[in-house]
């Protein structure tokens, strides 16, 4: 019999259209969960990101993996839309929500990697923060009462990096660091109610946008290492997804609440592999090949 540790569980993956969010949604489905996939990129109405991926595609992948995928177009910067999404989940699932994944991002086109804060476009930077941080706050505000009412659940804040190392651009760094703090603050308030909250980071993630940038696909991704040798140590979104699925299935997940976690630490504990059977460890690669140029990753926050 196939292992479906999340049979009967209900998850919401906010920002599940592509990248890490899609990987998490699909792997929660593979573990048996019903997964609501939300975001702005729908077959009926796209977003300003101009990408081809849609929430409907992700929901179909969830179902194909063994779960039940439900796509709900939602702009997570709009409290009314988020409230309606959570109300629908509550109505559909008799008030049940076991896993909340805050993976909304949408900031790639807004990140300025070239200039310091005092030379950046302020409106653009603040828009990045609204997309990458405010959306998480809004989503948790409306979703958490379902978990608190049941006295159980897991909140996962998806970020980039789990240390205090500067991430190369002021607003990007502020957004990703703030998301870690969101997990920490939620953990403090949710602990008395039996609900865990963690932040999690992948290593070098092979998102659709990264694959496109290097002119490769998931089938021939290793060819991308000719342009960027560090890409040979990348990981697919499935790896991040399996990390989150392992956390969601862990009966002792409260022991991790308030922590900033990473795929490179969790694979050792839970034993999951990437889609190709490997176990990438980007922290180990960093220590071998990147530390002299960029400094140490630092201790987890």
Positions marked catalytic: 172
| Burial category of 115 from C-beta neighbours within 10 Å (exposed 0-12, middle 13-18, buried 19 and up) | exposed
User: CA dihedral in degrees (174, 177, 179, 184; nearest 10)?
Assistant: -140
- Yes or no: say if 248 and 32 are a contact pair by the CB < 8 Å rule: no
Sheet holding 34-39, edge to edge: 68-73, 34-39, 10-14, 99-102, 153-158, 195-201, 260-262
Q: What is the phi-psi region of residue 13: left when phi exceeds 0, alpha when psi lies from -120 to 50, beta otherwise?
A: beta
Encode burial over 130-158: b for 16+ CB neighbours within 10 A, e otherwise.
Answer: bbbbbbbebbbebbbebbbeeebbbbbbb
Question: What are the phi and psi torsion angles at 208 (to 5°)?
Answer: -60, -40
């Amino acid at each position: 019999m196939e292992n479906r540790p999340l049979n009967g569980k209900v998850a919401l993956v906010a920002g599940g259209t592509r990248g890490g969010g899609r990987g998490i949604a699909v792997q929660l489905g593979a573990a048996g969960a019903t997964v609501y996939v939300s975001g702005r990129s729908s077959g009926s109405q796209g977003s300003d990101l101009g990408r081809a991926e849609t929430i409907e595609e992700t929901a179909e992948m969830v179902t194909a993996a063994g779960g039940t995928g439900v796509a709900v177009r939602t702009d997570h910067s709009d409290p009314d839309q988020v409230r309606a999404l959570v109300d629908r989940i509550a109505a559909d699932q008799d008030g049940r929500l076991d896993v909340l994944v805050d993976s909304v991002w949408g900031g790639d086109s807004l990140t300025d990697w070239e200039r310091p804060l005092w030379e950046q476009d302020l409106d653009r930077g603040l828009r990045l923060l609204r997309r990458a941080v405010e959306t998480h706050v809004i989503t948790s505000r409306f979703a958490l009462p379902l978990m608190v009412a049941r006295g159980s659940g897991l909140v996962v804040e998806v970020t980039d990096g789990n240390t205090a190392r500067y991430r190369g651009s002021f607003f990007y760094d502020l957004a990703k660091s703030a998301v870690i703090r969101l997990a920490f603050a939620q953990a403090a308030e949710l602990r008395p109610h039996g609900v865990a909250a963690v932040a999690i980071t992948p290593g070098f993630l092979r998102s659709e946008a990264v694959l496109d940038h290097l002119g490769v696909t998931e089938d021939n991704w290793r060819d991308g290492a000719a342009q960027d040798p560090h890409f040979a140590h990348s990981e697919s979104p499935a790896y991040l997804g399996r990390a989150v699925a392992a956390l969601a299935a862990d009966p002792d997940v409260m022991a991790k609440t308030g922590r900033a976690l990473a795929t490179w630490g969790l694979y050792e504990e839970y034993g999951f592999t990437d889609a190709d059977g490997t176990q990438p460890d980007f922290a180990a690669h960093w220590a071998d090949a990147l530390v002299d140029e960029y400094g140490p990753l630092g201790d987890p926050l």
